[in-house]
Structure 1
Amino acid sequence: MTRNASENQILTTSISRARKELTDLHDHFGLIPDHAVDATWEAVGSVEQSAAKLGLDSCDDLVANCSNVLTELTGLRAPTQFQPVDLAPALHTYRNAVATLVAAAAVTRRAEPAGALKKVTHLKKRTHELNRCASDDEVVLLRASVLAEVLHRQAHRRTFSRPVITYTLCDAGMNPGESTGFTAEHLQVDADIPTVTASGNRNLEDRQLPLDTFNRFVLQASVDSALKADHLTPTTTLSYAPRANQPGSKQATASAFGVLDRQLKTVGIDNLDLKASCIYRWRVDATRRTLGLTAAQTISGHRSLDGMFRAIGMSPDSLRRAPAPTQVRFDA
C-alpha cells in the first residue's frame, strides 16, 4: 500500500524521538490523566525495551513489527486473534502504547496522525462486554491523536476541528448529546479551577465540569481559533453545525455518536465492545475511582447513584464494594 509524504515523515521518526515528544506532550499539555501516569510510562517503556531487543529503531520498524513486539511482551503467538479475557487487557495496553508513540511522532512533524495510525496492528475486541467504559490506555491514545491534530492545525493555520471539540467535551464529562450545544460562552478558563458548562440533556442535570490541563488547552485553542480566525460569535455552537435539527436533539446526538465512532476507528480501537459513549463513561468511572461516588454522580449529571451506575455499565453492589478512592486533584 502506498504512503503519502505525511505518513512517511511520521513513520521515519525514531522511537526515541517519539518517546521524547510523548514526554513533552505530557509535561506541557497534561496528556496522561494523573491516575494513569505510572501505568502509561510502564507500558511505553516495555514497548521501547522490546523494540530495542528486536533491533527496531524507527516508528516504521515498530509498526511493521507490531505483532512481533506484542508476542515478545505477552508470549501470545497469535496476538491478532481472539484472546482470553484475562490476557487481552495487557495485549491491548501494549498495542495502544505503540499507537500512542506513532501519534507522538506525528506531533514531531506537525502532521495529521490519522494515516499513520491506521498502519498499527488492529486487535480483536478486548472484552465480552457490549458497551464498556474506555480504558485509561485507550484514552491516552485518543488524547495523543487529538493533540497531534490540534498542533498540526495550529502549525498550518487551519481552522478548528469540530470532532476534536466533541471528543474533548466527552473526555471532560459531557455525554455526546450534551456536547452538541457547546459554545464559547460555556468555557470558563480564568477561574482557580477552569470549567465548562454542561447544559444537561433529557435525563441529565446542568453542571460545571472541571477541566484538567489537556481539556483546558484543547478547548481554549479551539475557541480561540473559532473566534479569531473563523470570526464566529461566542454564541455559535462549535461542535455541531445545526441546519434543521437543534443541538441536543436525537439527530444532533446521532451526529455526535458518528463523530466519536470515527475517532475510535482512526486510532484502531473500533471493536464491538466500545461505543461512542465510552469516553463519557470513562470520565465518570475515572472520577469514581479517584474521587469517589459522590463526585462521579455529579460529573455524570444523573440525579441518582443508580442512574450513575447505569451510565458506566456496572452494578450498584459491585461499585459499593469497591476500594476507597485515591485522592487526586484536578489541574488548575
Structure 2
Amino acid sequence: MKAVQVKKFADPTAIQVQEVADLQPTADRVVVRVKAAGVNPADWYVVNGMFQIPPALPFTPGFEAAGEIIAAGTTHLQPGTRVLMTLPYLSEGAANFGAFAEQIAVPAKNVVPIPDSVDFAIAAALPVMYGTAYIALKHRAQLQVGDTLLVTGATGATGSAAVQIGKHLGATVIATASGAEKVQHAKDLGADCVIDYKQENVTERIKEFTQGKGVNVAFETVGGDLFEAAIQSMASEGRLLPIGMASGIIPELSMIRVLAGNFAIVGTDFAHYTVHHLDLVRQGLAEILSWHQDGIFKDLTVKTMPLEQAAEAIAQVHQGAGAKVVLTM
C-alpha cells in the first residue's frame, strides 16, 4: 500500500508517499481501506517536530479518516462497513497517527459507522473540525438555549462549525471576521451579529449588541487582540474556551482578571478526548452525522487533493486555506 512517510522533521522534501507493507488486523483492531483523510493545523506541528509528543521517525501523519473496513479482528464489525475514524494520538505512551495512507489499522472502538448517503470526503472532514466545536460547546461550556456565544475566526474550520452548532443549540451568536466577503459568509452561517474586527472595535460592538451584559460563552480561535476582546466581553459566570491561536500570538492572562471578572477559562483539546474520553467522542460524532443528514450544516464543503500532494496540503492548511482540505486515495 501507499503511505505518507515523514523521515525528517521540518523538511517538506522529507514528506514523501512510499510503498509500505499491507496491514493485518488484531484482536482489538480493524484494518480500513482509507478513502479520504482530513488535514488539520495540528498536522503541520507534527511534521515539524513541534507536537506536544513528537513521534518517532519515520512516521505517517494524519488524525482523521473515512473508508471501508477490509479486515476485522472483532466480531461486531464486518468487512465492507463504511466508517469514519478518529485516531488516538497516543498509543502505549508514544505518539502515533497514520491517517495519510491507503490502509490504517485502528482500534475498533475508534471507528463510527457512516450511512451510505454520506460521502467519504465529507465524513473525513467531520471529526476534528466539528468534534472540537461539539465537545467545547455542548460538553465543556454547557451552552444553553438563550446564551450569547462569541465565535472569533468564524469563517475558519472550527469557527464555522462553532457558529452552526451554537445556533443549533439555541444560542445567539456573535461572530468576528475580516472583510466584506467573510462577514457575509459568517452571516450566511447563521450568526446574529458579525463584527469586522479590522474595521470595528470588537469590545464596543459586543457591549452594544448585548446591552452591556457581555457573552456567556466565547469560542476563541485567534489569540492576540481578539482574545483580549473576549476577556473584556465576558459576562458574569461566563465560560471562555481558548481553542487556537491562528494569529500566532499566544495569549497571557493574569488570574486576577479571571477572579475579578468571575468567569472561567475552559480548555478543550479534542486529541485528549480521543485518548481519555472516547465514548464522548463517539457520541458526538454520531450526533454530528445525524445533524449533517438533517441539513443543519450550511458550510460542509471540502477541497480534495491527492495523497501525493500531502506536503502541499499541510502547508496550505497551516497558511489558512479557506475550505477544509481532505486527501483522497
TM-score band, normalised by shorter chain: under 0.3
TM-score, length basis structure 1: 0.27
TM-score, length basis structure 2: 0.27
Q: Which has the higher strand share?
A: 2
